[in-house]
Amino acid sequence: MTDTATRATSNTITSVADTTTATGIGLLVVRIGFGGLMAAYGAQKLFGWFNGPGWQTNADGFTAMGYNPGELFGTLAGLSELVGGLLLVFGLGTPLAAAIVLGTMINAIHVMWSGGLFPSDPAVPGYSTPLLFALVAVALAFTGPGRFSLDAGRPWARQGVVLGAIAVGAAVVAAVLTLIAKAVL
């Protein structure tokens, strides 16, 4: 009987360790892939890398969307995507990084809202991509960075409802303040 209990406990421990490792690997893949894409979008806006518009064209685009001054809002969007994305890649300050990305995506959804979720005209951008990015940011805000991150073992790396809700709340507040500034300026 002792032998059976020992084996069952040993298998349970192995199973927990395997699950923790698998979850950590999954979060690492999501963070690197998603964070890398966000950082690349920011680099497109700021530096023109990866076939991007570059800073001046980006600023002009933000002015055309009603974000005046376009230089300020375009730079803010590019920096948010670049910094938020890089923080996610490394799993550093993950709740803050998720909030940065989410706030930016809320503004992107606002801009593309009139195109609909899946526009029938391919020339009209819909908001499905920024919505997908926002959902990933929310998920990372609640799950945390995982075991394979620079945040691992730090107090803010703890996942959970409270920390996730704080990150999402901060993102919503930042996005609303940005939209108010857009309307006022």
**55-97, pLDDT tens digit by residue?**
999 999 999 999 999 999 999 999 999 999 999 999 999 999 9
30: confidence class by pLDDT, cuts 50, 70, 90:
very high
Model confidence at 116: pLDDT above 90: yes
Model confidence at 132: pLDDT above 70: yes
pLDDT in tens, 144-169: 999 999 998 887 666 789 999 999 99
CA triple 138-141-144, angle to 5 deg: 135
Model confidence at 8: pLDDT above 60: no
Q: What are phi and psi of 143, to 5 degrees?
A: -80, -25
Q: How is residue 52 written in tokens? A: 């991007």
Q: How far apart are CA 133 and CA 110, in angstroms?
A: 14
Q: How is residue 77 written in tokens? A: 């969007």
109: confidence class by pLDDT, cuts 50, 70, 90:
very high
**In this predicted structure, what is the pLDDT of residue 25?**
96
Q: Which of 77, 78, 89 is nearest to 33 (CA)?
A: 89
Model confidence at 54: pLDDT above 90: yes
